[in-house]
């Protein structure tokens, strides 16, 4: 067993990092500058395979992990708030001693990355790429008058997630990856069905309650923001445009024909953007 300096994280078995009360499964491919991928809600490390292979074949080290309660990571029965999830990112970074790392997040993973920077700083981080970001916040509030009514979000949890989640997945895969084939949809559905129902519920609440405007203004590394104009989960004007206006050093790229799962439906475009961004001198 190898113990690292971070008192919450050490490796106990191949492809496993222990962070406090949770075993985090991770994949680590290639060599070179590290790129750490943080998946969206209900997805895991597998969802980043097309990006990881493209980048590691071009001389980069690509790491992705399953969030607690997702995939092959353990389900500790709690810790699905953004602070703890950000600490899990820190555990992975420090256990693997990643430096000059590029953080890439999708959907909820973007919130976790921003909170990581707030809690742990950017000393180990070179750049950040956010895809389909749910930041700065999606919920109706005095500071977000065009947000989603919290009652609708609670209705999703009560009437869909906790009532018939498999049916909800089946009905919502088309808006997530428009035009995707049946095997792609089955693959995504199986990933989501591996997750702890508590994790899905509590992570959804964490996203609903987040208001990250001040945190985005404090981001001190270059940010690439990729958004889809057809994204119904993270509507462009509610999320990406507001995020781009708040982050000091941000480049917003909008795919007019893309939805929330653009990293799967627009693989070549996304991979090209990421590779160009990672290799740029900043």
What is the structure's pLDDT at 6? 38
71 near 194, Cβ under 8 Å?
Answer: yes
What is the structure's pLDDT at 282? 56
The structure tokens listed for 74 are 């353990």
What is the structure's pLDDT at 7? 40
What is the structure's pLDDT at 13? 62
Omega cis (within 30) before 136: yes
Domain 2-279: CATH class, spelled out: alpha beta
Distance, CA of 140 to CA of 82 (rounded, Å): 19
Domain boundaries, the chain: 2-279
DSSP state letter for 48: G
Burial of 140 (0-12, 13-18, 19+ CB in 10 A): middle
Active site residues: 107, 231, 260
> Angle at the Cα of 19 (from 14 to 25), degrees rounded to 5?
35
What is the structure's pLDDT at 8? 43
Written as tens digits, the pLDDT of the chain (282 aa) is 333 333 444 445 679 999 988 999 999 999 999 999 999 999 999 999 999 999 999 999 999 999 999 999 999 999 999 999 999 999 999 999 999 999 999 999 999 999 999 999 999 999 999 999 999 999 999 889 999 999 999 999 999 999 999 999 999 999 999 999 999 999 999 999 999 999 999 999 999 999 999 999 999 999 999 999 999 999 999 999 999 999 999 999 999 999 999 999 999 999 999 999 999 865
What is the structure's pLDDT at 99? 98
Q: Report CA-CA distances (Å) from 106 to 71, 116, 164.
A: 16, 14, 25
Q: Report CA-CA distances (Å) from 219 to 17, 97, 122, 260.
A: 27, 22, 8, 23
103 near 128, Cβ under 8 Å?
Answer: yes
pTM (2 decimals)? 0.94
């Amino acid at each position: 067993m190898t113990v690292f300096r971070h008192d919450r994280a050490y490796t106990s078995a191949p492809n496993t990092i222990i962070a406090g009360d949770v075993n985090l499964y991770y994949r680590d491919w290639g060599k070179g500058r590290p790129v750490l991928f943080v998946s969206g809600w209900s997805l895991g490390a597998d969802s980043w395979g097309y990006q990881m292979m493209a980048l590691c074949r071009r001389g980069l080290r690509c790491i992705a992990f399953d969030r607690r309660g997702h995939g092959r990571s353990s389900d500790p029965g709690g810790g699905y708030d953004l602070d703890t999830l950000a600490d899990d990112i820190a555990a992975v970074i420090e256990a693997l001693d990643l430096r000059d790392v590029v953080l890439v997040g999708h959907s909820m993973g973007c919130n976790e990355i921003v909170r990581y920077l707030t809690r742990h700083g950017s000393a180990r981080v070179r750049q950040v790429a956010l895809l389909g970001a749910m930041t700065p916040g999606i919920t109706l509030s005095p500071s977000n008058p065009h947000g989603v009514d919290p009652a609708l979000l609670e209705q999703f949890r009560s009437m869909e997630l906790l009532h018939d989640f498999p049916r909800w997945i089946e009905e919502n895969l088309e808006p997530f990856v428009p035009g995707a084939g049946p095997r792609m949809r089955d693959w995504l559905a199986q990933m989501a069905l591996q997750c702890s129902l508590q994790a899905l519920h509590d992570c959804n609440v964490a996203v609903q309650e987040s208001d990250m405007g001040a945190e985005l203004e404090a981001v001190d590394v270059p940010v690439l923001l990729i958004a889809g104009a057809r994204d119904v989960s993270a509507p462009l004007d509610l999320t990406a445009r507001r995020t781009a206006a708040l982050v000091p050093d941000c480049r917003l790229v909008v795919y007019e024909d893309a939805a929330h799962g653009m990293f799967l439906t627009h693989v070549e475009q996304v991979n090209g953007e990421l590779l160009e961004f990672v290799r740029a001198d900043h």
